[in-house]
Amino acid sequence: MHKDRVTPHHTSPIRQDQTYILYWMQAAQRLHENYALEAAMRASVRHNKPLRVLFVLDPTFKEANHRHYSFMLEGLSSLRDKLRALNIEFYLDIGPFTDTVVKHLSRAVLFIFDKGYTRALRAVRLAVVEAAIAENLPTYEIETELIVPIEKASQKCEYAARTLRPKLLRQVETYLDEAVLTPPLHAPLAEPSYADMPVEAWLTHIEADTSIRKSPYFTGGEDIALARLETFIDELLCHYDKSNDPSLNLTSQLSPYLHFGQLSAVRVYQRVSAALDRCPVAVEGFLEQLLVRRELAFNFVYYCNGYDRFDTMTDRWAYETMHAHADDHRPILYTKDDYHRYDTHDPYFNAAMKEMVLTGYMHNYMRMYWGKKIIEWSPDMKTAYETILELNNAYFIDGRDPNSYAGVAWLFGRHDRAWTRRDIFGSLRYMNAAGLKRKFDIEAYVERMERLQPSKKS
Ligand SMILES: Cc1cc2nc3c(=O)[nH]c(=O)nc-3n(C[C@H](O)[C@H](O)[C@H](O)COP(=O)(O)OP(=O)(O)OC[C@H]3O[C@@H](n4cnc5c(N)ncnc54)[C@H](O)[C@@H]3O)c2cc1C
C-alpha cells in the first residue's frame, strides 16, 4: 500500500491489554485491493491479536431502500464467508452509525477505518474519531476508493475535467499499488452477531423500504464484480470508443460494484490498461471515465460546498442564465407519478425510465437525456433538480454516489460550459430526440427496453 493512503488521527501506543484489532469497514466491501484490510491484517499479525472486521448497517441512513440493501448484503454475505476462511471475524451490527461503531471501540487495541467522501459519511467518521481520541485509541484512516488519493489529486474544488486531468495523469502511475493480505495467526473471536443470520434476516431486521425492490438484473458481490470486469475486458472493451451509443450496450455496467466498494478502481485501472496495446483508443476512452470523470465527482463532493443543494451545486453563470429564463413558457409539464409509470409522450425518455425502474441502471448518454427532459418538463429549475436527484438516488443501484451529485449538477451546467441560448434552458446544454435519432439507432434501444421484464433477464 502506498503510504499516502494513510491518515493517522491518533498515534498513541497500542492498547495491548485490549481484545482485538478493530477495522470498521464501510467504503471498501471487498478483499482485493483493500488497503484498510491490508493494514488491519498486518496489525493483527504484528500484535498477535484477533482481527474484528465490523460492518454497521444503519437503518436510518438517508435514501437507502430494498434495492440498495439487497445488492450490498449479497456482497457482504459472500465477504463474510471469505473473511472467516482467512481466520477473521466478521461482526455485523445494526444501529445508527456513530453510536454503533463507538460501542466497539472500548475493547480495541488499534482502530482502522476507510475514508468517506460525502458529507454524511464524513460526519460519521468525524464523530467516531473524536470518540476514539477521547479513549486514547490509536486510530488510522485509510483511503481505499480512489486511485489518486483525494487530497493528493487536488486541494480545491476543481472547475472542470480539464483542470483536474493533468493533476491525475501526473500521479496515477504512483498509486497503482497492490494490497498484500497477511492472514492473522490468532484464532478469530466468535462472538455472536447478526453476521450469523442469512441475508433475508438482515433485510427484515433493518426494515428496508420495499417500495423499490431488488433488481433482478444485478447481483452484488466481489466475485461477480471481478468476473464482470474480465468479461467486459474480453468481449467489449475494444469497442468502448463506440460505447456512447445507448443502442449498442457496450459499457461495463460496473458502477454498482464500484459504488459499494465491491470492486476497486485501482484493480479496474490495472486490468483495463493492460489492454492498451490491443486497442489504445478504446482503453484511453474508458480510463478517462474511470479516472478523470469519476475522481472529478469525488473532488466535487469533497471540496465543493453545497454539492447536493439546488442553490449551491452549480456555477454562477449557470444560475444567471437559469434566472434569466425562469419565466419562460413551459408548454409540457409532467409529475413524478408520470415518470414512475414511464408515461410521457417521449418514447426515448420512457424507455430510459423503464430501464431505471426495472434494472436499477441506465446508460450514461440516456442519463443525460433523461435529466435534460425533466428540466424541460418541470415548472422551475429547483423542482427539476430535486425530482431528478430523488429519482436518481431511489432507483439506481449506484445512486447516492459522488457520481450521482456530479452527474445531476452537470445537467445544470457544473463541469460544463455555456451553449447557444434557448428557451427554458438559457445557456445550459440542451438535448432533444432529434439528436438521439441523428446519432444512434435509438429505436433499437427502445426495442431492447420494451423487452425488459420486471422479474426476468432480457
Ligand atoms: C444525470 C446523471 C446522473 C448520474 N448518476 C450517477 C449515479 O447515480 N451513480 C453513478 O455511479 N454514476 C452516475 N452518473 C455517471 C455515469 O452515467 C455512470 O457512472 C455510468 O453510466 C455507469 O455506467 P458504466 O459502469 O456502464 O460506465 P462505463 O462507461 O463502463 O464507465 C466505467 C466507469 O467509469 C465511471 N464513469 C463513466 N461515466 C462517467 C461519468 N459521466 N461521470 C463520472 N464517472 C463516470 C464510472 O465509475 C463507471 O462505472 C450519472 C450521470 C448523469 C449525466
Q: In terms of DSSP bridges, do strands 139-142 and 6-10 run parallel, antiparallel, or are they unpaired?
A: antiparallel
Domain boundaries, the chain: 3-145, 316-450
**Residue whose CA is closest, atom 33 of ligand 1?**
290
Atom in ligand 1 nearest the alpha carbon of residue 290: 34
pLDDT-derived band at 455, boundaries 50, 70, 90: confident
Chain segment 249-269, per-residue pLDDT in tens: 999 999 999 999 999 999 999
Instruction: Report pLDDT for 456.
Output: 56
Chain segment 418-437, per-residue pLDDT in tens: 999 999 999 999 999 999 99
Question: What is the C-alpha to C-alpha distance for residues 33 and 175, in angstroms, rounded to an integer?
Answer: 11
Mean pLDDT of 285-305: 98
Atom in ligand 1 nearest the alpha carbon of residue 371: 1
Chain segment 131-146, per-residue pLDDT in tens: 999 999 999 999 999 9
Chain segment 270-290, per-residue pLDDT in tens: 999 999 999 999 999 999 999
Top pLDDT among 414 and 209 is at 414
Sequence-ordered alpha helix ranges (H) in 62-189? 66-85, 97-103, 119-134, 150-153, 161-171
Question: What is the C-alpha to C-alpha distance for residues 1 and 284, in angstroms, rounded to an integer?
Answer: 25
User: For 27-41, 182-196, 380-394, 432-446, which range has the lowest pLDDT when averaged over its residues?
Assistant: 182-196
Q: With pLDDT > 70 as the criterion, what percentage of the chain qualifies?
A: 99
For the chain, the average pLDDT equals 96
Which residues form the pocket of ligand 1, taking CB atoms under 6 Å from any ligand atom? 243, 251-255, 258-259, 289-290, 293-294, 297, 364, 367-368, 371, 392, 396, 398-399, 401, 403-404, 407-408, 410-411
Atom in ligand 1 nearest the alpha carbon of residue 392: 8
Atom in ligand 1 nearest the alpha carbon of residue 370: 1
Asked whether residue 22 carries a pLDDT value surpassing 50, the answer given is yes
Question: What is the C-alpha to C-alpha distance for residues 80 and 196, in angstroms, rounded to an integer?
Answer: 9
Specify whether the backbone of 426 is left (phi greater than 0), alpha (psi in -120 to 50) or beta.
Answer: left
Asked whether residue 457 carries a pLDDT value surpassing 60, the answer given is no
Of residues 49, 55, 56, the one with CA closest to residue 138: 49
Question: What is the C-alpha to C-alpha distance for residues 439 and 301, in angstroms, rounded to an integer?
Answer: 32
**Residue whose CA is closest, atom 16 of ligand 1?**
364
CA atoms within 13 Å, Cβ hemisphere of 267: 25
Return the residue matching grid coordinates 423499490: 212
Top mutation candidate among 224, 367, 372, 388 for ligand 1, by most atoms within 8 Å of CB: 367
Mean pLDDT of 66-95: 96
The rounded Å distance from CA 403 to ligand 1 centre is 6
The rounded Å distance from CA 448 to ligand 1 centre is 20
Helices (H) and strands (E) in the chain, counts: 20, 6
Chain segment 397-408, per-residue pLDDT in tens: 999 999 999 999
Of residues 413, 412, 417, 421, the one with CA closest to residue 325: 421
Query: Can you give the pTM of this predicted structure?
Result: 0.98
- CB-based burial label for 119 (10 Å; 0-12, 13-18, 19+): middle
Integer CA distances (angstroms), 291 to 9, 286, 383, 408, 415, in order: 28, 9, 32, 19, 15
Domain 316-450 top-level CATH class: mainly alpha
Asked whether residue 458 carries a pLDDT value surpassing 50, the answer given is no
The rounded Å distance from CA 140 to ligand 1 centre is 30
Chain segment 149-166, per-residue pLDDT in tens: 999 999 999 999 999 999
- From edge to edge, which strands make up the β-sheet containing 89-94? 6-10, 139-142, 108-114, 20-24, 51-57, 89-94
Q: Is 10 helix (H, G, I), strand (E, B) or coil?
A: strand
Asked whether residue 299 carries a pLDDT value surpassing 80, the answer given is yes
Q: With pLDDT > 90 as the criterion, what percentage of the chain qualifies?
A: 93
The rounded Å distance from CA 106 to ligand 1 centre is 40
Top mutation candidate among 117, 158, 403, 405 for ligand 1, by most atoms within 8 Å of CB: 403
Q: How far apart are the first and last CA of the chain?
A: 41
CA atoms within 13 Å, Cβ hemisphere of 44: 29
Chain segment 89-106, per-residue pLDDT in tens: 999 999 999 999 999 999
**Do 91 and 195 meet the contact criterion of CB atoms below 8 Å apart?**
yes
DSSP 263: S
The architecture of the domain spanning 3-145 is 3-Layer(aba) Sandwich (3.40)
Mean pLDDT of 25-35: 98
Question: What is the C-alpha to C-alpha distance for residues 98 and 429, in angstroms, rounded to an integer?
Answer: 41
CA atoms within 13 Å, Cβ hemisphere of 102: 16
Instruction: Report pLDDT for 180.
Output: 95
